[in-house]
Amino acid sequence: MARRSRQPLGWRSLWLGFAVAGGVLWAGCFGISAFRIAPWIALAPLFLLFDRRGATALVFAWGVAYWAISLHWIVPTMVTFGGLSAALTWPLFGLLAATLALYPTAVVALTGRVWRSPRPLVGMLAVAATWVALEWVRSWMLTGFPWNLAAYAWLEVPGALAPSTLLGAYGGSFMVVWANAGVARGLADRDWRPLAWGLLVPLAVLGTAWRWNERALADGSSRSGVLEARVLQPDIPNLTVWDPARNASDYRRLIAQSLEACDRPGTLLVWPESAAWPRRLGEDARLEQDLRELGRRGCSVILNTARREGGETFNAAVLVRPDGTRDSYDKQRLVPFGEFVPFRALLPIDDAVTRNVGDFSPGQGSRLLDIQGVSLGLAICYEVVFPTQLAATVAGGASVLVSMTNDDWYGPTAAAWQHLRAARFRAAETRRTLLRAAITGVSAVIGPDGGLVARAGPGALGLRGAVVRDGAGAALYVRLAPAVPWMAIVVSAFAILLDRRGRRPAAS
């Protein structure tokens, strides 16, 4: 008896270890370096768990391991810059990882029966569509956190960005999950057919979308709107202890770099998020003087500043033109525990900690900043990870996208590269050039196909120039963005109902 009782426990432990290892493996696909082959199979261990007894608990363990590894940079960020104690940060981080783990757990709960049915393609369809639907739910549930969408794992797969112009990153996530589900189903059933379907369908979509997108980009390359732009990376690290001399030196470097970049009239200078901090536009005489000097040379500047209005403070991007006129955009999507404290009344956090974390108000709606006939759509830091937000910005008339960020909060981790991957998908989805200014890197000029035209890595001091053309027509995804997640919901429901109907006993 004792021997029989230990055997199941040993197998349960083995499968628990397999689940944790699978989560770690998938997290590796969101590291500093992107891979071409691994993301085709790295998610398959998750789906192999669907056939096991206790699949729900195993998948939850997989999710906790995946999110804990892929987001490990949050803990030192909150301790070092958020002013939170490690005793509070670790439980909060554990709660975050456990909450995010509920999403893959929901996939197995909703589709586990379909997955185990004798119809492998229906099971694969249900799993992939349900995954996409839940990624969309994750983009708005509990303030929203659409970080590390499955599509981003395929960033370096040739042609992976091209389908984004049709179905966005959510369509890419469908293909990633479909392919990995095919690998898992083929291994579990010892059948080559699910594996073949899992690989051939994405390959056909990638090839077709790539050719279609190349023609569309070529047709739009002759548009007349042109803007000379410079993306600045002043390499100004965040200070853990206030040092006025160091801050003054960093600011002088920013201005010197700006004067160097302002080499011809009509140039747009893009400063990163918090580049001039703690100087506020309209309140700091030195900052105003330096902007006037750049204006006299004929250069415009987009900079980040805290903007006060009606008793509220907004994280704003302001365009300062050579003639002194200004327009601003207020950040809509704020970083939880970075720019505001969600559910503050329910958490044991005092006012002092809240001031360290931030207490901004969200902006209301997108506002385009116009310069020389080009309409700029803004995304401040975290906002670039929201696919539908920038699609709506382009639908509203944006012809060039600008993203300003400060990724130094996260140190030399994969966070900056994860952030950059999202930005590349936003450019490809909307078929718009995206100028990304990061205070310590990774800054980039991203082409309308999502490719890197120029890049400045972490810690580099430099600037990148670009001749930016007006957007090359509206991508189909811009018009379909709200419909794509609903399509996934419909497909998921259809696959589940189809399987249940197929299981009904025949009428006598």
For 143-170, the DSSP string reads G----S-GGGGGTTSTTTTTTHHHHHHH
Amino acid at site 328: S
Measured between alpha carbons, how far is 406 from 390 in angstroms, rounded to an integer?
A: 19
Q: Is 204 helix (H, G, I), strand (E, B) or coil?
A: helix
Q: Which of 471, 423, 463, 470 is nearest to 439 (CA)?
A: 463
**DSSP 8-state code for residue 81:** T
Measured between alpha carbons, how far is 468 from 474 in angstroms, rounded to an integer?
A: 16
Please work out, in degrees rounded to the nearest 5, the angle formed at the alpha carbon of residue 219 by the alpha carbons of 217 and 224. 95
Measured between alpha carbons, how far is 254 from 281 in angstroms, rounded to an integer?
A: 15
* Catalytic position from the list 29, 135, 262, 273: 273
Report in angstroms the alpha-carbon separations of 112 from 22, 24, 179, 499: 18, 22, 17, 11
Tally of CB atoms within 10 A around 4: 7
Tally of CB atoms within 10 A around 192: 9
Report in angstroms the alpha-carbon separations of 71 from 34, 90, 237, 381, 451: 16, 12, 21, 17, 25
* Catalytic position from the list 135, 262, 381, 383: 381
User: Does the active-site annotation cover 331?
Assistant: yes
* Catalytic position from the list 331, 339, 383, 429: 331
Measured between alpha carbons, how far is 474 from 166 in angstroms, rounded to an integer?
A: 11
For 6-18, give one letter per residue: b (16+ CB within 10 A) or e.
Answer: eeeeeeeeebbeb
- Within a 13 Å sphere around the CA of 224, how many CA atoms are in the beta-carbon half? 2
Parallel/antiparallel/unpaired status of strands 369-371 and 326-330: unpaired
Residues ≥6 apart with Cβ < 8 Å to 456: 231, 233, 441, 442, 443, 444, 462, 463, 464
User: Does the active-site annotation cover 381?
Assistant: yes
> What are the tokens at 302?
């987009």
- Region for 83 from its dihedrals, namely left if φ exceeds 0, alpha if ψ lies in -120 to 50, beta otherwise: left
Catalytic residues, which ones? 273, 331, 381
